[in-house]
Each structure stands twice: as structure tokens, then as C-alpha cells.
Amino acid sequence: MPLCASLPHVLRRGLLALGLAFLSCTHAMTLDHIEPRSWWVGMTQPGLQLMLHGEGIGRLQARVSHPGVTLRGQQRLESPNYLVLDLEIAPDARPGDVPLELMDGTRRVLLHPYPLQARAPGSAQRQGFGPQDAIYLIVPDRFAQGRPAPAPAGMKEGERRHLPGGRHGGNLAGMRQHLDYIAGMGFTQIWPTPLTENDSPEYSYHGYASTDLYRIDPRFGSNEDFRAFVGEARAKGLGVIQDIVLNHIGAGHWWMRDLPTRDWLNQWPTYTETSHARLSVQDPYAADSDRRAFTDGWFTPNMPDLNQRQPVLATYLIQNSLWWIEYAGLSGIRTDTYSYSDKAFLARWSARLLEEYPRLTMVGEEWSPHPAVVAYWQRGKRNHDGYVSHMPSMMDFPLHEALLAALTEADGHATGFTRLYEALAHDFVYPDPARLVVFEGNHDTPRVIAALHEDLALYQMATAYLAMTRRIPQFFYGSEVLLSSPRERDDGAVRGDFPGGWAGDPVNAFTGEGLSPRQRAAQDWLRRLLNWRRHQAAIHEGRLVHYSPKDGAYVLFRQLGAQTLMLVLHKGERAGRLAIDRYPEMLRAGQRWHEVMSGRRGTLGQHLDLPARSAQIFELED
């Protein structure tokens, strides 16, 4: 392979390919990947690991000359096509292009100007999301198409909107076009399912099988489009939470054509799928083989399982998360299949992100009905095995399941509203229950209106509870207009297209055109509810008091200083009465009240009238 000793300096910015800037002479060695793609001066830790990939690159020696940047070492991996550089970036390093030279003996083979940038002001102190927020979960491919976007040349799957599991063509331009709608509904955070490249021949729309962890899928847009989307959302009061996957990649990832090391993946003699036995992580009696079957088994044959015990890969994954936060200006991270990864790595990953961004919020997915299992992963939990996690938040699947059961079961000593009461009573196992994310549904669950038997009154009860309880509420796109699905899992139906997201749609939920009266009522209800919630300090910071259910009613209070709010859920088919003396700590006769959703006002007597099958929220005056 011909080598090149030098090139004119004026050409340094002239050769750019796939976001990689490098210099070489004709027929010389090429640099196919360098990751992270860029970095910043002033990060908390000065160390930076660069992974270079190109044919035969492992035999070369690196050289760096830039003020404040030192090459501390380099390592070769099992594949001869990788070279890992360990750099140290001083706090006073000069931003600019860092010349990375690759040498074959005394000859320079390749010169790459590596971007070293200044951080945005206040980056380290960025504010994450919390109980003051309401999250809107979007599947980008199914939300809106801002402009027709045929698959770029070379992508394995194009738009096939007629197929439930095909790509439907939603993109970043569509989401950006409807930011005003999202903000107007009262949401303050947007969580899109993964946007990184998923170049699979089918079912590529969901994004959970990434084939390039540093590239936005071009069918959604570019990296620059994503950063612009986040910036415009921020200007409208909306934070953006990025969905990342630490546990696995897609089978089409470029690593799979040239694994850096044999232990880059969790390998088995024959294909071995995860057992999904997540409780084995906490089980004091679990066999090691059971734990390994859970964490090291593959999620699907098309989702190779990453081995986070591999030190180069572990650092790579940590830096990838840091890169997206800094590059795009994120307010948080949602981590898919959280507990399936190596738990020692997860502790290191979460600690490192919070070291860099102390106020950032990360939320992990732990799909378990058991509060003790979810609590194990939250920051501050004193665990039986000594495990220390740093995750500020987790998805509250136990409370989600209890809410649906509470609204669809007859009330009894262990059913109906009792389930909801007892689920919340388990908050003593959580170190910080207010930071958990609770939800009416997501991309993996049946649509909430289907789970609630298409009952609008139950939908209003569910959303009122989410808005009032001591959690961070999350809502799934389309729930506000009663998008439905089968009650059994059907991903294509659950992730249906948002009405009005495509030119020619007969119904437009963004404008209200063509919505049924029921859909309008549901949308108006949630809009009023969330816009009211945004300004209620008692919900964001106040204490919670609830009473055991009685006579088909469940009552919950939020209180902060002189502000008292009351939620009353009543499932009775007939109108009822709430006896005020049942709630002596919180209510007294003569208090004036304002019912938020209807606008009614009155004064408490001995009883409070309850309409049949109703959700009411009261502002109480001392």
C-alpha cells in the first residue's frame, strides 16, 4: 500500500467523507471511522479514548502535536484494523483541529485534523427533567413526515407505509414542524425512541438495533438536523431526552463485519437468547449460570449482546453517551433494557455521566412488577448485596400496572383501587420515589384506551392520577386523541401513525380537523390538565397524603405550604357522596373549593357530591 509522507496544509479541510476529515495521498491508507467524532476542552476528566478503524491501521504508530493535548498511550486490538489512542486534554488546551499523525516508521501515512471544541456556556450545569415536567414519548417514524424523505442510496429498507412493521416515513423535520403543538399540549420534555442509524432489512423503524452509534439515521435526518431540533425545542421550553441502548446493537452494525476483539460480544457455542429472568440479578439464591443467561443472552438473533466487561468497549459506550449529551444539548437520557447490561458497568456509566453533568436526569427501563426490583437500581438505595447505583430515575412499571388494574377491576380487599393504594404505599422501598417516571402506556404496551376498554371516563381518571401523583408523568403520542390497539401486544398497531402527520391524512389531530367528539374531549382534557399542572408547586414539590379506598372512591392530596390540592377518583356507576369527616387531617367544613377541570366552585359542607364515574381535582382554600 503506497504511503504518503506529507501533504500541503491548505488541503486539511478539503477532504471530508461521512463526517470524517482525513488527509492521505491517492491509494494511501484510509481512515474509515474515528470515534468519538469530536470532543471538548474542559470536560471533568481529561482522558479521551479514540478508536480508529481502517484497513491495517493497527500496525501504525500515532503522533500528536497540539497545545494541551498529550498522547498517553496506544493499544492494538485483536483485529489489525483498529488502533486505540489514549489522549489527555488539559483544561487550558486550545480548541481547534488537533493533528493526529499516523506513522509507518518515519513515514507519515495519514494526517487527520481531529475537532477539539469549546463547550457551550453552562453545559456542565444543564438542568435535567423532574417532577415539574411532563414527558411526551414519540416513535419518530410514526409521528409526522415534515417532507417526503425517500431512503438514501444504500439503505436496506425504504418507506413502506402500508406495512404495520415497515417504515412509514416520519422524520425529524416532522417532529420539528409540530413543536408548537407539543408545547401547547402542556408537555415540557420530548422523548423520541432511538434516532441513530438502524440499517436493517426490515423492522428498522423502531431504532433499537443501532448500526452506527454516532450517526442519526439519514431517513430521519442528519446529526445537524437533530441538534437543530433540540435547539428549537429548547427555545420553546421543551427539553429532549435521548433514548440509548447500552445492552445490544443491530446485526448490521459495522463492527459485525470486523469485530475489534473476540470478547466484544457475549458469545455462546450456539445462539442463546436472554432468559429475561431479571430477578436473578437481585435473587440472593440465584445460580451464576442463571444470572449469566439473563445478562449475556442475546435479546434477539438480530440484536447482538455487547460485553460491557470489555474495557475498551465500556469506555466507548460511556463516551458515546457523553458525546450525544454535549453535542446535541440534551436534558436527559432514557436507557433501554437497563438491567440486561453488566451491572458493574452500569454503576460506572451512571457515575461518569453525573460527574460530568450533576443535574442531568437518566431514567432506566426495568420492566418488573416488583417495586423492590425497580428500587434496586435507583441512586441512594442501600442494597442487600452492597451494589451502588447512581441512576436518578427508573421507569415505574409497578405503578403503571397497578393503575390499569385499579381502573378495570371491581374493588375489593386486594383488587381495584386497593391495588393502586398499596402500590403507592410501597414508596418506602424507593430512595426517591418522586423522581420515578410513571406512564399510561408506551411503545411496548397496549394503548391505554384499549387497556381501559375504550372507556373515556377511565381515561380521564388515569390521566388525572398521572398528573397528580408523586412522580414524573409520561404520555405516549396519540393517547391524547385515543389512538387504540389490540389489548394483546401488537407493536405495529400500538405504534400507529399520528393522525395528520402525513399529507392527505383525512384526520388531523394537530389542528383538530376530523376528530370525533370523543377524541376532541380527550385531547382538550389532557391539554387543560397538563397546562394547569405546569404551575402547581404542590405537585412538583409538595407532600402526598392518600386514604385507603372506600365506597368506590380513592382520594389523594398534594400539599405545600398553604396550597392543598385534592384528587377524587370515583368509579361508581351512580352519583355518590364523599363524607368530609373521613379526611380529618386534610378537610374541614366551610373550606372553599374550585374544581379545576370543570371550573365549578363551592364550599365544603358535611359531604362532597361525586358525579358517577368521574375524576375531579380540587383547589382548596384555607
Q: What H or E segment, with its residue span, contains residue 563?
A: strand 563-570
Residue 365 is a catalytic residue: yes
Q: Which three cell numbers stand for residue 64?
A: 500528536
Q: Which residues contact 395 (CB under 8 A, 6 or more apart)?
A: 363, 364, 365, 366, 367, 374, 436, 437, 439
Residue 288 is a catalytic residue: no
- CB burial of residue 291 (10 Å; 0-12, 13-18, 19+): middle
Residue 310 · residue 261 · CB < 8 Å: yes
Q: What H or E segment, with its residue span, contains residue 313?
A: helix 311-328
Q: Which residues contact 512 (CB under 8 A, 6 or more apart)?
A: 520, 523
The SS3 call for residue 79 is coil
Residue type, position 264, single letter = W
The SS3 call for residue 83 is strand
Phi-psi region of 125 (alpha: psi -120 to 50; beta: other; left: phi over 0): alpha
The residue to which cell 460480544 is assigned: 265
Rounded Cα distance between 63 and 71, Å, is 7
Closest CA to 614 of 456, 474, 507, 485: 456
The SS3 call for residue 347 is helix
Beta bridge partners, 48, equal: 87
Closest CA to 267 of 296, 302, 309: 296
Query: Which of these is catalytic: 365, 396, 480, 497?
Result: 365
Phi-psi region of 533 (alpha: psi -120 to 50; beta: other; left: phi over 0): alpha
Q: How many CB atoms lie within 10 A of CB 220?
A: 27
Q: Which residues contact 185 (CB under 8 A, 6 or more apart)?
A: 136, 480, 523, 526, 527, 530, 531
Please give the DSSP secondary-structure letter assigned to residue 583: -
Closest CA to 424 of 303, 555, 604, 593: 555
DSSP string over 247-287: SB--TTSGGGGS-SSGGGB---SS--B----GGGGT-TT--
Q: Which residues contact 342 (CB under 8 A, 6 or more apart)?
A: 295, 307, 308, 309
Closest CA to 216 of 174, 257, 172, 251: 172
Closest CA to 402 of 417, 415, 418, 420: 420
Biggest CA-to-CA distance, the chain? 93
Q: How many CB atoms lie within 10 A of CB 381?
A: 19
Q: Which three cell numbers stand for residue 328?
A: 446535541
Q: Which residues contact 476 (CB under 8 A, 6 or more apart)?
A: 137, 439, 440, 441, 442, 443, 447, 448
Q: How many CB atoms lie within 10 A of CB 120?
A: 11
Residues identified as active-site: 336, 365
